[in-house]
Structure 1
Amino acid sequence: MRVLMLSWEYPPKSVGGLAQHVYDLTKAMAEQKHQLHLITIGSPGVPDYENVNGVHVYRVTPYQVSSPDFVTWVMQLNVSMLERCLTLVRDMEEPFEVIHAHDWLVAYAARALKHSLRIPLIATVHATEYGRNNGLHNDMQRHISDIEWWLSYEAWKVIVCSHYMHNEMQQVFQVPADKLVIIPNGVDAENFSVGQHTVPRENYASPDEKIVFYVGRMVREKGVQVLLDAVPKILHYHPNTKFIIAGKGPHLMHLKRQARRMGIEQRVYFTGYVDDNTRNSIYKHASVAVFPSLYEPFGIVALEAMAARTPVVVSDTGGLSEIINHGVNGLKAYTGNANSLADNILHLLMNPRSAREMQEKAYREVIEKYNWQGIAGKTVDLYQRVISAHYTANWQGNRRVGPLGGIGRLFAKSQ
């Protein structure tokens, strides 16, 4: 199949989990011999075009016109994406069969390409502005939410990663149930094995201390402030505990001030950004990985910890709640409840046998249920069903259409 994919995140540009999702999905699809062309944002020192694991990656730069806000910058990015896509389409020997857009930040380009090329659009909505902010509180949030609705309206099918997001899309945007398709995120377990250059444990904790590890963005919805509130109770019952908090974001300084105000700054180590090898090393050294999110559409970080064979505690919310079976492959705490979070962390710290049993079950589940080859197969199956429906529709207009195995030439040669 020939797929045109749009995503504003792709390595090395990584803000949240979207970049890794798109990287792993496209890699798995390319391994299944599909033709993937990805349009994404450029980064300094990275080529405008490269072939990554069989995926054709095109990077663009937003127009260098001063933008008063993020939404305007996104519009400039979309125009640059559209410009690159039109050149790509012109030079293609065979036309694309489907467009796949990830989140609202590429909605304008995706919609324009859908109508100009007259091929179906599939959208993956990874999160909503309403969910991220627990409602819509200003004009910019309402505007972004409107774009999310618009992308969902324009898409032939909308992929979501969990039953939680399925319900959210129905409640917030009234998307019909038969338009929504649940395809979970995945993880490549090999990415979380530690090589020869393991970062020494003493860089982070003394030999007699057990490590509780969080890694992720420093934003309010990730709930790190709840973890800090749980620290005093954990230290009361298990004094030899060190809390390693890795990541960056706008909430970081607030969290550091909270730790200082609580008098626990000597037990909490804010590392800032860590590379993959350092992250994997800390996972190996940690006794518990904790993800206390207030809002989490899926929670790929939990899968990553499971792949690293680290016992997991999560909050009982969103996709995290669907991944973790309490007491089987991890533990779940009441969302936003520091006392409950502390109790579950303490259970793993003080019951290593139970922790080992859960981590092994979690690892097996990652391998069997959340592998990218299976997820890519489900995505391609959806493409095929949409394309089949597309052939029976009248929406194609005057385009010349080939047999079911592929769409005919997009542009007729001039006489």
Structure 2
Amino acid sequence: MRLALLTHEPFYPPSGGGSAEAVYLVEEMVRRGHEIHLFCPAFPDHPKVAEQFSIRIHPFTGWQMGRYTNLRSLKYLAYPRALRKMMLKAATEIEFDAIFSQHAISAVAAGKLKSDLNLPVVMNFLDYLTGFMESWPRWVMPRVILNRLMRFELNLSIRYDADAVLTVSTELAKRFIDNGYPESRTQTIHYGYDATLFPFSSTSPALTPTVVMHGSFDTHHLGPLAIEAVTQIARAKPETHFLFIGKETAALENLTKRVRRSVCSANIQCTGFVDYKLITDGLGQAHVGIIPYESSVGTHSAFVAKMVEYAAVGLPVVSTPLSGVMAFFKNEASICFSKFDATQFAVDVLRLLDAPPPQNDRQRLAKRVAAELDWKVICRKAVDRLEAVAS
């Protein structure tokens, strides 16, 4: 089949979060013999990347895109119209068989293109994007506007009569179904990882107690709870090393400044951007991984990539009680679902630093995620559904 894959993120290299999945989806589609046309923002060396993956890339060059670009939210809002225009132009010369969209932003364009081109559409929701904005200050995101945006996103599958919806968690699938989208056309595929890049580690981490967090650091990742919890840990155990693996953001700068205002000697390090293939090196230094997300519809609907990768390498985890990941990881001894309370979160991190869970428990969980959440498993499910819809 000749497939159009739409995304709002630069394809390569993956920048964390949901961007990693697209690479493995493309590999699975190509492996099955499909002709892939990738519509995405321009990125360096895209002709070489197209050759490397045996695909055709249609780069968007209207303005810079990416999770760290200036005026990101405004650019995201404008992108679907430009993306639709790009594909309509390509469709005058290329006869497509189906459309596969990544994330809600591209789903807007995919939905309109379904009626434009009379093509089947599969929408893959890797999160509830607008739901994350619940943790934003009200002066930044007024609740009247937020509620409209959240309804708009959840209604995309119904408004455009998507042929199938894939979701990252059972919690998000339930929201689509409760909103009226047919359960028979909804499938939870979860979020995966590359088992070859995140092998279980039985080696001892650094001597200095190290707390790690990796990936992207947005407002909902590092809000008041994270700031206060890190402050309390630094105060109770001053030798603790806080290692943030990823590009420094305003949210992380704010956390560092606020923590050091209370504990001036707090040992907080940010590595800057690290290639997806090299993240595991940093995780190997750590004793505990943290997911101190604020409570919102978005975070509860997520299937957090950090959680999967921490579990894969055998790293104990402390996380706020997020419904999407709790449904999969409940009753796992090496994962502590704390409370939406900074003091309790800090207590739980300190407890795991002093008394880590047995290696057998961590190794058993690593084997489980390798069997159920490796990208090959996730992407087979996604492409199976796409082929069933398009056949």
Normalised by the length of structure 2, the TM-score is: 0.81
1:340 corresponds in structure 2 to 344
- What is the rounded CA distance, in whole Å, between the counterparts of 2:92 and 2:183 in structure 1? 36
- What is the rounded CA distance, in whole Å, between the counterparts of 1:369 and 1:49 in structure 2? 29
SS state at 1:134 partner: helix
> Do the aligned partners of residues 62 and 104 (structure 1) sit closer, same or farther apart at CA in structure 2, a change above 3 Å counting?
farther
1:396 corresponds in structure 2 to none
2:33 corresponds in structure 1 to 33
Equivalent position amino acid for 2:166 in 1: I
1:17 corresponds in structure 2 to 17
Of 317, 320, 323, the match for 2:322: 317
> Are 1:160 and 2:162 counterparts?
no
Equivalent position amino acid for 2:351 in 1: H
SS state at 2:196 partner: helix
- Could you tell me whether the CA contact under 8 Å between 2:10 and 2:43 is conserved in 1? no
Q: Deviation of residue 239 (structure 1)?
A: 4.8
2:138 corresponds in structure 1 to none
SS state at 1:190 partner: coil
- What is the rounded CA distance, in whole Å, between the counterparts of 1:229 and 1:109 in structure 2? 40
Equivalent position amino acid for 1:180 in 2: T
> Do the aligned partners of residues 165 and 265 (structure 1) sit closer, same or farther apart at CA in structure 2, a change above 3 Å counting?
farther
- Could you tell me whether the CA contact under 8 Å between 2:17 and 2:215 is conserved in 1? no
When the two chains are superposed, the root-mean-square deviation of aligned CA atoms in Å is 3.2
- What is the rounded CA distance, in whole Å, between the counterparts of 1:63 and 1:233 in structure 2? 42
- Could you tell me whether the CA contact under 8 Å between 1:218 and 1:224 is conserved in 2? no
Q: Aligned runs of 1:95-134 on 2, under 5 Å?
A: 95-134=95-134
Further displaced range: 304-313 or 229-238: 229-238
Further displaced range: 342-351 or 290-299: 342-351
Q: Deviation of residue 292 (structure 1)?
A: 1.7
Q: How many corresponding residue pairs?
A: 369
1:302 corresponds in structure 2 to 307
- Could you tell me whether the CA contact under 8 Å between 1:103 and 1:123 is conserved in 2? yes
Q: Deviation of residue 351 (structure 1)?
A: 2.2
2:250 corresponds in structure 1 to 250
- Could you tell me whether the CA contact under 8 Å between 1:28 and 1:372 is conserved in 2? no
Q: Which runs of 5+ in 2 are unaligned?
A: 65-69, 136-140
- Could you tell me whether the CA contact under 8 Å between 1:62 and 1:73 is conserved in 2? no
Q: Deviation of residue 24 (structure 1)?
A: 1.9
- The structure having more radius of gyration, on CA atoms, is 1
Equivalent position amino acid for 1:24 in 2: Y
> Are 1:185 and 2:187 counterparts?
no
- What is the rounded CA distance, in whole Å, between the counterparts of 2:91 and 2:334 in structure 1? 46
> Do the aligned partners of residues 307 and 101 (structure 1) sit closer, same or farther apart at CA in structure 2, a change above 3 Å counting?
same
> Do the aligned partners of residues 222 and 231 (structure 1) sit closer, same or farther apart at CA in structure 2, a change above 3 Å counting?
closer
- Could you tell me whether the CA contact under 8 Å between 2:228 and 2:342 is conserved in 1? yes
- What is the rounded CA distance, in whole Å, between the counterparts of 1:81 and 1:49 in structure 2? 20
- Could you tell me whether the CA contact under 8 Å between 1:81 and 1:109 is conserved in 2? yes
2:388 corresponds in structure 1 to 385
Q: Deviation of residue 287 (structure 1)?
A: 1.0
- Could you tell me whether the CA contact under 8 Å between 1:123 and 1:159 is conserved in 2? yes
> Are 1:54 and 2:57 counterparts?
no
SS state at 1:39 partner: strand
SS state at 2:127 partner: coil
- What is the rounded CA distance, in whole Å, between the counterparts of 1:271 and 1:259 in structure 2? 18
Q: Aligned runs of 1:156-305 on 2, under 5 Å?
A: 156-170=163-177, 173-192=179-198, 208-223=207-222, 225-231=224-230, 233-234=232-233, 238-247=237-246, 248-276=248-276, 279-294=279-294, 295-296=299-300, 297-305=302-310
Equivalent position amino acid for 2:309 in 1: E
Equivalent position amino acid for 2:344 in 1: S
Structure number with higher relative contact order (C-alpha < 8 Å, ≥ 6 residues apart): 2
> Do the aligned partners of residues 326 and 343 (structure 1) sit closer, same or farther apart at CA in structure 2, a change above 3 Å counting?
farther
SS state at 1:286 partner: coil
- What is the rounded CA distance, in whole Å, between the counterparts of 2:197 and 2:171 in structure 1? 27
SS state at 2:39 partner: strand
Q: Deviation of residue 230 (structure 1)?
A: 2.6
- What is the rounded CA distance, in whole Å, between the counterparts of 2:358 and 2:346 in structure 1? 15
- What is the rounded CA distance, in whole Å, between the counterparts of 1:118 and 1:276 in structure 2? 37
- What is the rounded CA distance, in whole Å, between the counterparts of 1:51 and 1:245 in structure 2? 34
- What is the rounded CA distance, in whole Å, between the counterparts of 1:49 and 1:58 in structure 2? 12
Equivalent position amino acid for 1:266 in 2: A
Further displaced range: 79-88 or 282-291: 79-88
SS state at 1:189 partner: coil
- Could you tell me whether the CA contact under 8 Å between 1:329 and 1:361 is conserved in 2? no
Equivalent position amino acid for 1:82 in 2: R
> Do the aligned partners of residues 178 and 100 (structure 1) sit closer, same or farther apart at CA in structure 2, a change above 3 Å counting?
same
- What is the rounded CA distance, in whole Å, between the counterparts of 2:224 and 2:364 in structure 1? 29
- Could you tell me whether the CA contact under 8 Å between 1:284 and 1:309 is conserved in 2? no
